[in-house]
A and B are shown apart, each in its own frame.
Chain A
Amino acid sequence: MTSTYLVALVGSVLILAGIVELLRRRQLGEKYAVLWLVVGILLLIFTAFPGILTSMAAGLGVAVPTNLMFFVGIVFLVGTVLHLSWEVSRLENETRKLAEDLAILQLEVGQMQERQKNVSE
């Protein structure tokens, strides 16, 4: 057992523990919980048994196993970034709607107060 293996293993466990702790503190919604739990567990499996990556690379015809890892990692990251962009757009739309509703309410409340003043005078 080499020291790099140990460091990687401890690192993966820490990452998984961090994800679980974020979940526990309710800092991570259900939507993202599944995603990150799967990532954390896969990370742990591949660190614990590096042989899996090598045989998978061989099976898929990838000459250098790390290239397979980089490829999958990049595809995953692009997907995540795309999803986050989509979420941000949605959130922006929702804030816009809230601001619009607030402005409409302000006008309506103002009009109501005006009317009340006229009635009481």
Chain B
Amino acid sequence: MVPAARAIIVVPAWNEQLTVGETVREIRAATPDLPVLVVSDGSTDRTAHVAREAGALVLELPFNLGVGGAMRAGFRYAVKHGYDAAVQVDADGQHDPTEVPLLLAKLSEYDLVIGARFSDRDDAYKVRGPRKWAMVVLSKVLSRITKAKLTDATSGFKATGGRALPVFAEHYPVEYLGDTVESLVIAARAGCRVTQVPAHMRPRRGGTPSHRPIKSMIYLFRAFFALMLALIRRWDIAPAAEQQYAKQIKEGV
């Protein structure tokens, strides 16, 4: 087996002072040799402070850039500091950090590994109604584009490595849902190999996913719009340019 890549864990957090400390401690307990980078996405509470106390590196964005923007900051940091892989773990405790090594193990063969719910393992995380339909159809379409069998394309629990990391460091989408839908399209267009591993989603520590019908319908509409947009957009990512870019940000140009 190829030795494990040098990896960093990226935790995007926006006003998560209640949960981020516990999440960081849990990650550090599960993977003691991986650094944890919390990207405080323009938080107005004590998120950055709590994360630092818990032993994480903290990027403080001066204003809110959205999950995509926060993750791109994380990817850029990872490339600039010579990491080979970045694993996204959400601050709300939904993702189980003990499963991070499962994702990383697959990175020797793939560029992007998604920790997916709705896999064979039963879990406590239930999604219903239009939101569920959207997720199912999105997964079907994205499976076809990435030529991988994906059951949960909208999962945030992802390990990015190999070819995908420098591509994402420059092109990670910052728009609504872009970090899940469009990012997979970009990965596929850049020739990245995508796969998924079953992951166990836990109920969030704070708040619950919305099941209000109107909100779900808006989600459905926006999800398909995001998908359509991702499909018609041009992504001419030349492999050479992508390598050069990685070198550039490493050298700090």
Interface: A68 (CB within 8 A): no
Most chain B beta carbons < 10 A, residue from A25, A30, A98: A30
**Chain A contacts of B229 at CB under 8 A?**
23, 30, 33
Interface: A61 (CB within 8 A): no
**Chain A contacts of B234 at CB under 8 A?**
24-26
**Chain B contacts of A26 at CB under 8 A?**
233-234
Specify the chain B residue showing the minimal Cβ separation from A20: B232
Specify the chain A residue showing the minimal Cβ separation from B225: A34
Chain A, interface size: which category?
10 to 19
Please report the C-alpha to C-alpha distance between residue A75 and residue B108 in the assembled complex, in whole angstroms: 57
**Chain B contacts of A34 at CB under 8 A?**
225
Interface: B62 (CB within 8 A): yes
Please report the C-alpha to C-alpha distance between residue A24 and residue B229 in the assembled complex, in whole angstroms: 8
Most chain A beta carbons < 10 A, residue from B62, B225, B226: B62
Please report the C-alpha to C-alpha distance between residue A23 and residue B231 in the assembled complex, in whole angstroms: 11
Specify the chain A residue showing the minimal Cβ separation from B177: A30
Please report the C-alpha to C-alpha distance between residue A105 and residue B180 in the assembled complex, in whole angstroms: 33
Known: A30-B226, A94-B62, A98-B62. A23 touches B233 (CB 8 A): yes
Find residues 24-63 in chain A having any chain B CB closer than 8 Å to their own CB: 24-26, 29-31, 33-34
**Chain A contacts of B225 at CB under 8 A?**
30, 33-34
Interface: A101 (CB within 8 A): yes
Mark interface residues in A88-113 (1 if CB within 8 Å of B CB, else 0): 00000110011001000000000000
**Chain A contacts of B232 at CB under 8 A?**
20, 23-24
Please report the C-alpha to C-alpha distance between residue A33 and residue B229 in the assembled complex, in whole angstroms: 9
Most chain A beta carbons < 10 A, residue from B225, B226, B229, B234: B229
Interface: B125 (CB within 8 A): no
CB pair A29–B175 under 8 Å, yes or no, is yes
Contact partner of A30 (CB less than 8 A), chosen from B62, B63, B175, is: B175
Find residues 212-253 in chain B having any chain A CB closer than 8 Å to their own CB: 225-226, 229, 232-234
Interface: B178 (CB within 8 A): yes
Contact partner of B63 (CB less than 8 A), chosen from A23, A24, A33, A94, is: A94
Interface: B133 (CB within 8 A): no
A83 to chain B, nearest CB (A): 17
B104 to chain A, nearest CB (A): 31
**Chain B contacts of A101 at CB under 8 A?**
62
Please report the C-alpha to C-alpha distance between residue A20 and residue B229 in the assembled complex, in whole angstroms: 10
Specify the chain B residue showing the minimal Cβ separation from A33: B229
CB pair A24–B178 under 8 Å, yes or no, is no
B138 to chain A, nearest CB (A): 16
**Chain A contacts of B178 at CB under 8 A?**
30
Specify the chain A residue showing the minimal Cβ separation from B175: A30
Please report the C-alpha to C-alpha distance between residue A101 and residue B62 in the assembled complex, in whole angstroms: 8
**Chain A contacts of B176 at CB under 8 A?**
30
Specify the chain B residue showing the minimal Cβ separation from A96: B62
Mark interface residues in B178-193 (1 if CB within 8 Å of A CB, else 0): 1000000000000000
Please report the C-alpha to C-alpha distance between residue A101 and residue B63 in the assembled complex, in whole angstroms: 11
Cross-chain pairs A/B with CB under 8 angstroms, 12 sampled: A23-B232, A24-B232, A24-B233, A24-B234, A25-B234, A30-B178, A30-B225, A30-B229, A33-B225, A94-B62, A97-B62, A101-B62
* Residues of chain A having any CB pair with chain B under 8 Å: 20, 23-26, 29-31, 33-34, 93-94, 97-98, 101
Which 8 A-B pairs rank lowest in CB-CB distance, beginning with the nearest? A30-B175, A97-B62, A101-B62, A94-B63, A24-B234, A24-B232, A24-B233, A26-B233
